Amino acid sequence: MSFTGEYINLIDQKNRLSIPAKFRNSLSASNDKTFVLTKGFDKCLLLYPLDEWQIVEEQLSSLSSIKNKNRNFIRTITRHANYVRYDSQGRIAIPELLLNYANINREIMVIGVVKKIELWNQSTLNNYEKQKQFLSDEDFEGLADKINF
């Protein structure tokens, strides 16, 4: 299972997004047409296949709940997580709270990021990419070298 590519899609009047067929077809049967949708770190939304989300939950469970920073981190990650199952037309419903967080109105960018999918407002993504901290040429080269790209 791998998600790659970029699509521009529309949110309908019922706040539903049609997941690109390429992404739906990449989903293994064990996911039962289900994703977990949550807030991302960069003012975007993250859409995890169910089996990938279970790995995230296992990793979160390994953190001690005795430490305040761990509790806050776990809460931040899981608080807005929603299990969403796509319908016969490949659509998922996105809660308004999450749409507002990512500043998504009608047009939405759907980006495959290997094991998960990012959902962006196009102007938010464009502004983010223009920031100096985005990814310098040196950082890009260093990461590419690290994975033998």
Which pLDDT score, from 0 to 100, does residue 132 have? 61
Task: In whole angstroms, give the CA distance from residue 53 to residue 115.
Answer: 10
Task: In whole angstroms, give the CA distance from residue 31 to residue 39.
Answer: 20
The 10s digit of each residue's pLDDT in 101-139 is: 999 999 999 999 999 999 999 999 998 888 767 777 777
When mean pLDDT is compared across 13-17, 106-110, 140-144, the lowest value belongs to 140-144
Q: Position 81: which residue type?
A: A
Alpha-helical (H) ranges within 5-67 are 21-26, 50-61
Percentage with pLDDT > 70 across the chain: 95
Beta bridge partners of residue 35, listed in sequence order: 49, 84
Percentage with pLDDT > 90 across the chain: 70
Residue 131 φ/ψ region, left for φ over 0, alpha for ψ in the -120 to 50 degree band, beta for the rest: beta
- Average pLDDT value for residue range 26-47: 92
pTM over 0.85: yes
Which pLDDT score, from 0 to 100, does residue 147 have? 63
- Whether residue 19 has pLDDT greater than 70: yes
How far is residue 72 CA from its own chain's centroid? 20
6-122: CATH topology is: Chemotaxis protein chec (3.40.1550)
Where do the domains of the chain lie? 6-122
The 10s digit of each residue's pLDDT in 48-102 is: 999 999 999 999 999 998 999 989 888 988 999 999 999 999 999 999 999 999 9
The DSSP-derived string for 82-106 is EEEE--TTSEEE--HHHHHHTT--S
